[in-house]
Amino acid sequence: MSGHEYEPSAEERLIARHFRPLATHPGALGLGDDAAVLTPPSGCDLVLTTDGVIAGVHFFPDDPPDKIGRKALRMNLSDLAAKGARPVGFLLALALPAATDEAWLAAFAAGLAEDAARYDCPLFGGDTDRTPGPASVSIAAFGAVPHGRMVRRSTAKIGDCVVVTGTIGDAALGVELRRGEGRRDPAERWRLTAAMAAHLRQRYLLPEPRNAIAEAVLRHATAAMDVSDGLAGDLAKLCRASSVAAEIDVARLPLSEAARTALAAEPALIETVLTGGDDYEIVLALAPKDLAAFCAAARAAGVPATEIGRIAAGRGARFIHDGRTLAFARPSFSHF
């Protein structure tokens, strides 16, 4: 009697075809075992984070599939960068509607493969389910920092400079543009050129996590956090964790030309810029003596960094514009 030859299921074939190419670390075992195995780099702590996206909540169901996986991975990479960690790998849990076709999956996986290679962050495993609900892409990522050195939110010191990377508010304005399609076009109201509107939309679709300066953050920051729910609310969280206040000069906020143009047409958009979310920049506190070295390292890495204010005694993050403190109806993006 011959033994039973096991044929791979459709699910196994799907995983092998689309996801095995991303599993380049030997510990992933080619996605062929129940679990993966990882020896932490010697002398390092593992930094763990998870974040995901759901169709209709974090992306539009008709967004290009290659961008969806990349966005989910980049949200996690941004957390690692803010903690001064270098990426080691990630896990991927997918819940997909029955209507998801092969072309969608192929594009989704190809986008993810591109970023896994770009950020040197291979896939270690995951889970794939069908769902009666909207598509959901959940990622858990892990990074490495020298033992005991993960950069925290809770360690900012009075007198520190506050620095933010990149520009803020672009993605929040990009979402407004996307939502405004078919109605009275916000791009027109804000007097944006086509290139400016494209810039804002792109910043929402695909964030640029600042992993290139993770090492500089590790070396110089006294405290840091990922800006994902709006600078106003996120900086307030850092202040609360550190039991300090922050005084931010609104005139010094780094804004793209597109955001500046929109703000000139509609000054009330400052609230969207500061509370809208999806920036995936890093806000950090550092000692004034380290500011020049940090900015030089950021420049060398091609990441803009701008000093926007100071850490002070007290509570809360104050955004000061023409001598007055801005008040926000809703300081931070929150799902609840």
Task: List interacting residues with Mg ion (CB under 5 A).
Answer: 127
| Minimum CB distance to ligand ADP smaller for 13 or for 147 | 13
Residue type, 281: E
| Minimum CB distance to ligand ADP smaller for 116 or for 305 | 116
Among ligand ADP, Mg ion, none, partner that 123 touches (CB below 5 to 8 angstroms by kind) = ligand ADP
**Which residues on neighbouring strands pair with residue 281, listed in sequence order?**
227
CA proximity to 282, closest of 147, 82, 34, 97: 82
Least distance to ligand ADP, CB of residue 128, Å: 4
| Minimum CB distance to ligand ADP smaller for 125 or for 331 | 125
| Minimum CB distance to ligand ADP smaller for 110 or for 158 | 110
Among ligand ADP, Mg ion, none, partner that 34 touches (CB below 5 to 8 angstroms by kind) = ligand ADP
What secondary structure does DSSP assign to 145-184, as a single string?
EETT-PPPSTT--TT-EEEEES-SSHHHHHHHHHHTTTSS
Q: How far apart are CA 76 and CA 281, in angstroms?
A: 12
Least distance to Mg ion, CB of residue 93, Å: 9
Among ligand ADP, Mg ion, none, partner that 31 touches (CB below 5 to 8 angstroms by kind) = ligand ADP
| Minimum CB distance to Mg ion smaller for 96 or for 286 | 96
Least distance to ligand ADP, CB of residue 214, Å: 25
Least distance to ligand ADP, CB of residue 271, Å: 38
Least distance to ligand ADP, CB of residue 152, Å: 31
Least distance to ligand ADP, CB of residue 143, Å: 18
Q: How far apart are CA 5 and CA 3, in angstroms?
A: 6
Least distance to Mg ion, CB of residue 9, Å: 12
Contacts to ligand ADP by CB under 6 A: 15, 19, 31, 33-34, 92, 94, 123, 125-128
Angle between helices 194-205 and 257-265 (to 10 degrees): 110
Among Mg ion, ligand ADP, none, partner that 33 touches (CB below 5 to 8 angstroms by kind) = ligand ADP
Among Mg ion, ligand ADP, none, partner that 144 touches (CB below 5 to 8 angstroms by kind) = none
| Minimum CB distance to ligand ADP smaller for 8 or for 146 | 8
Q: How far apart are CA 153 and CA 197, in angstroms?
A: 34
| Minimum CB distance to ligand ADP smaller for 31 or for 274 | 31
For residue 308, the tally of other CB atoms under 10 A from its CB is: 23
Locate the DSSP E strands across 33-160.
Answer: 44-54, 86-96, 123-130, 136-146
173 Cβ contact partners less than 8 Å away, ≥ 6 residues apart = 190, 200, 258, 259, 262, 269, 272, 273, 276
Q: How far apart are CA 14 and CA 333, in angstroms?
A: 36
